Structure 1
Amino acid sequence: MMANHPVLPGRVFTDPNKNRFHVPQTLGFRNGVPVQALVLQGIGQEPLDAQSVQYLDKWDPNLFYGECRRAPKVNTVHPQYEVYENKTLAFRAFCVEPIAVPMEDQPRVRHVLLFYHLEDDTISVMEPPIVNSGCVQGKVLKRHRVPKASQDDGPKDAATASYWHWTDLNVGGSVWLYGRTYQLASCDAFTREFLERHGISVGGEIVVPADPYTQEQTRAMQRQTQDVDGHSPSAVLYQGLDKLGRFLAFDRQVLRFFAVWQDPMDPMHEKRYFKVLFYLADGTMEIQPEYKVNDGHYKYPNLLARQLLPRGGLLPADLPSFRDMDCYVAEDLQVGSEIEVLGRRLRLFDCDGFTRDYYAARLGIVQPPSVPTESPAPAPLVQPLPPHNGFGSPEDSLRSCLHLVPRRPCPSHPGPDDRPLRYLVRLNSERPHDLARRFVLSYQTRFGFCTITELGRRNSGREGGRFFGPRLIEKPDSDPMQPQPEYYGPADFAIGECNF
């Protein structure tokens, strides 16, 4: 009936069946230091209110305070930098520059990539590099907020100026950035989807016009190199083409050979390795040494700087120019041949894949396979072991020859076939009282040690126990001065034989 009473002051009764009223002990000593323990049980070893499930039903806060009123939901507004983090609109654009040099008769067309960063409304412009364009390329406009203005507007105050927004960008439109008008030609898939999702109709892609200057440079290179295909470089490299034509035709094309040189005055006969580079653009050569770790040589960069190398390897100072000398050409460099450089005869023993393909396609020469340069390794020198000096066992003398500080032999783990062999033996003696003595011979198959143990008998006057060993037993006919004498083995033990 007590469970039906409301929990009100004056109506809470104690349990008459409760007879334990112990207070939990929380203070004590540990290692001589006073400590305070955690309270795990209540008075009378009852569970605590915070750990009891009945506490939730007995002391429900809704009975005293009513239903908990929750705060109304508020729509959280996320900042722009959080919503558009790492999201960028990318456009392909171009601009037409007016004629800046009187020698040029056509304007330049600059191809750029325009990026609009949504997290902070900044704009950056990058121009992809084009080979031999004659312009400084890369980052054209650093990332920042660009003020929105036209050619007719003058400078404005930063507080009153308006900035370009992504709603002003669309394919087919134009953007005026610091004196340059960029025509937006196309965009990527993310940009198109983002603009259409916000109700902006994206226009069709525009064909980007080619740069007249780049086209003219390409046509000039083709005119300079139209006679190169099908001819050997020695026929047209210095005769059929001028200096600019050779540069345009063979720029960045380098033949690479690997060479070796051995100094005849070196008593160690050490071999030095080099890389021989032949530049097809001007016929110059460069020789670079190769080093190994801790080889003891000073690491100078080049044995021969990039220049024409005359045949014979000498560079006289009295000649006005290298053109007056007979220099090496591409046909002179072949695997297995030798070239002379500053009094050194370098032997070419290999080349890379591009060099082999170039000789086969342009010169019709098949480079021989790689030539081995390493000499066969000499046979290892085996030092004979010295004979036993008579001190200690032969194994001790052998250990002192192998190590400066002799080491103990490391025992291995016994296997299934490493069980000792046991024999019952007796003394072969002329004294009658020794004939009754009995011994057990134990032979360890793993190390070859022999151990002899005497069996004790009552009233014999002798105490049994270890009689000999464990140690290796040499045969009587073995030479003790040899480094490896012959020892007794399982084949020497037979019933009825006298061995010791």
Structure 2
Amino acid sequence: MTLRCPDLPFLPGFTFNPMLGKTKFNMDPKFDFIGDGVPALVEKVKPNMFGSLSDKYPSIYPRGEVMELPPWIAFDKQILCFDAFFQETLQEVRGAPFQVRRVKIYFFLEDGTIQVTEPKVENSGIAQGTLICRHRIRLPTPMDDNFYEMIDLNVGREVEFYGRIFKITNCDKFTRNFLNRCGISVPDPLNTPEDPYLGLRDKENPIRRKTGNKEEDALGKFLKNDRKVLRFYGYWDDQDTDFGYLHRLEILYYLADDTIEIREVLTESCTKTSSFIFLQRAKLPKIYTELPSPGANCTSTVLNVLGSGLQGGRYIKDPLACGLEITEFYHEKDLFIGSVINCYGRKIVLHDCDPFTKQYYGVKYGLNTFEPLALPEDRQAGVKIEKQERELPPWNGYGSFEDSAQNCITVEPKAPHRDFKKFLHLDRIGMDSHILRFQARMVSKIPENCTRGFVISYYLADDTIAVFEHGKRNSGFDSKQFFGRQSIALPGQEIFTSKPPKTYTSQDMYVGGTLIINSFKFELINADEYAFRYMEIYAHQYPKSNIKMIMGKIRNKLRPTYKDFVAENMPKEATTIPYTTLQSKLIDILGDDFTEHEMITISRAFPAPVAFPEKYDRKEIRAIALTELKRGLWDDLVRLKEYFVMRDPEKRGVLTKKECYTVIRGCRLPLEKEIIEKILEVIQKDEQSNLYYEDIINFFNREICKLPDVAPINIKHELSCIADMEYKMSPLIDWCAFNKYLDLEDVFKEPPSDNTIQCLKGKQ
């Protein structure tokens, strides 16, 4: 549009070009870019001709006074809301010709679209929500060429949308203010007529409105009454039936969810050995006829609205629960002293309650008398009931006795029960293996079997025995497991009985004893240091290692002839006596009642100082180790040193014996466990018995003090505990200490000699 002078005619030459003198020809955009390629709406508000920065509501002012904006920007998110109703004819309801349905009409200013919705009413019986979707609606015929505009909607008017007449009765505050500013007068709100159909439903006789099941506030009840329990004491008299007795019960009523739990209180007349739950926690019905069918206690009902003939069917939840059977349960009002409750056919009488229950009923129900009732006579009171052990059928020989007995106790196959407390107490703990190892030989009529060597291990954790054979070189017998680990039954007892067989115990394991395992007879001839030491520590369990019991037995036998015994066996020069000499004298006095294990216990209690030369010194052990490393092609001292240094972050140069053993085993040195133990015994140690790992590295270095290779030996046998048993046997016993422990000086009637007095005093 070009500017012109109104006094001049609108002819060429009388108009002016508005572009004269203008240097910027770009348009004022309403959109701009924020970032790289991200479009966004930018509102650049400029002062109008009146100096105002506001460009909103352009329809209120005369055209040209403000800058014009598109309606979808000017009226964005501005909606006119009207309340209206329409009548719907009801032909099937007698007494209600129509019903009134309330709706809301929304007019969107930005594009002139209309939407009609009906607010949802609970239990209305009709589908509610959006009646007319948002779109532009045409006027009724014959004005259907035009659409409804803002001026067509106002309070008191009637509009027709698709054949339905809507009466507008009210509008919201924004709509009223907007129409008034536009110059449109809005009348006062109108009253919506009453719905005759709803009035008919609210009456008592013709139609009663039904509602669905209302859920109880279980959470609120739980938070209010949690940990609050009413405790009653009752009884169930079952003495008239066979094996019946007077059941004393404890009834617990949980206020949080109205459930009941019943426990039985043990009495002397009760045959039960432990308390048990008489009734698990649940709601207790007042009337019990039979067990409920599956799904009878379900809280909701499912209806098949299409029948079973159609494939798949159509199932919905029944909100009215038409077929639901109401079950009455016991409530706190039904429980009081003297009441009788039906617990699934058993009549339980309440005769007393605890103080909290009395206080609860006193505060809530105003009760103040809680006198307990007398219990009926207990006919079994004072009658001593003998406990009978379960008698199992005799063992048939299949499987172990424990496994067969477990299958007889329960139908469900289960593993036999172990003594778990004993297992935890006597299982391996660090260096304590709780395994007693004995050296044994086989007693047989075959001469070759008598030369075979065995190691019998007794496991204290489960009283099982394992036998391992150490085969000697060129004997024809290999080193292998001779008998697997299991319990060994004592010989000479009946096998196919209902009682469990007696097995070997740890008290049967002693040097000089015999064991019969699978018809093989073994004689125990020695034991390792751990077995001797363990039995001496727990001497109250092992009489053969109890020095007090052994010396007491010898004291009783020697009391009449003690003078002759001392005079005959007293050494003339030294204060020691040979092991074999004292053993033969004690056997002559005690006979078969004296065993080899008891003699070993005496020698360990009164040892004479004897210097035993090492069977293998450090040099010989190093030669054996270097020979084994050479045969295994191992030469990785750098890696071994690296692992030792990594284990020693403080750079002290020492490690514990366990850590050194772990490092050697972790580096996969081709050495047996026995030779590693011997190596760690000869390594240099500090005051705390820690090992210098630099000495271990030098021990495996062939360049330091080179040694020749040695002939192959049986390392498992030569360096095992059996070799130590055979080698380290104390040959001498301290005679003076032995006599001092006997303490029989009062048997002398005449003054003893000086040598005798010196021996009787013993070493200080």
TM-score by length of 2: 0.25
TM-score, structure 1 normalization: 0.36
Question: Which structure is larger by alpha-carbon Rg, 1 or 2?
Answer: 2
